[in-house]
Amino acid sequence: MPQMNMVQAINDALATAMRSDERVVVMGEDVGKVGGVFRVTAGLFDEFGDERVIDTPLSENGIVGTAVGMALYGLVPVVEIQFSDFIWPAYDQIVNELAKFRYRSGGEYPAKIVIRTPVGGGIRGGHYHSQHPEAAFIHVAGLKVVCPSNPHDAKGLLLASIADPDPVLFFEPKRVYRAAKGEVPQGAYTVPLESAAIVRPGRHVTVLAYGAMLYEALDAAAKASAKGVEAEVIDLRTLWPVDIGTILESVKRTGRLVVVHEAPKTCGFGAELMSLVTERAFYHLEAPPVRVTGFDTPFPYTLEMEYMPLSHRILPTLLDTARA
């Protein structure tokens, strides 16, 4: 199998989907001749032309609104929002139109769209290019939310998202766009949505992470192991619907839970994960669940490595929770 980084794997997924289904179109700002700000769509314009790789005006609201109309007429738009920080002008279209068409039409018009967008910090982008807004979309009934951590899963999850009948927000952690590399099968394959992966077995504490923060959790788990604490690290992959079965099975074995995410703590996805576990496995918990997250401030330019929940912040939480 060829080695790819995440940018290459996502590009390969888009090309694979477009070759197999002529209804799939890619659209967004600079996705055509330029190939996207991160070069994720490079080469697609040359292969598929301007009717299927569409450069749009700088209007996120217009991009998603147009894609909704295209989807209602049977196309499968894959929309790129250049940065997740730019998605808010389209929030009305996503929440009040895209997420609700299946329900308001009794299932007749599902408005199938995938919205791809880079998320997170680590590139010194500051508060306009580093947000991680998954909780705002997980809260919206009718949407699915995905955040891969590696090239293999990125391709398989994107192909599964394009094939899924529901609209999907596909968050791509740009900090590992080119840093994460691995073997990626050629041709079409899918990684099932709503399937988490245990990437490091352990017996003392369960750690939930996703996207770029998975690697920080793994690094902290390796350091904790040297101190006698074995953390089981789970990559959620699909954030909603979340694989609660895999999570509960792990927590019932370890009796402890730590959640890591890059977004601010208050009303973040970690709070929902802790509630889901507490409601279902309260009597299995040997210590209070704990969150290691970003801070409740705008994302800083100069202090982003202090803002993000990196390994040096996760490790003491793992040790304290395991020994509580």
Residues involved in catalysis: 129
Cα 13 to Cα 305: distance, rounded to the nearest angstrom: 31
Task: For residue 20, give the H/E element and its range.
Answer: helix 6-20
Cα 195 to Cα 293: distance, rounded to the nearest angstrom: 23
User: H-type helices in 30-150, by residue range?
Assistant: 44-48, 60-72, 91-92, 101-104, 134-138
Q: Are 120 and 212 in contact (CB under 8 A)?
A: yes
Angle (nearest 5°) at CA 106 between 101 and 110: 40
Cα 116 to Cα 79: distance, rounded to the nearest angstrom: 6
Residue 235: name the closest of 260, 270, 256 by CA.
260
Cα 226 to Cα 47: distance, rounded to the nearest angstrom: 51
Q: How many CB atoms lie within 10 A of CB 16?
A: 19
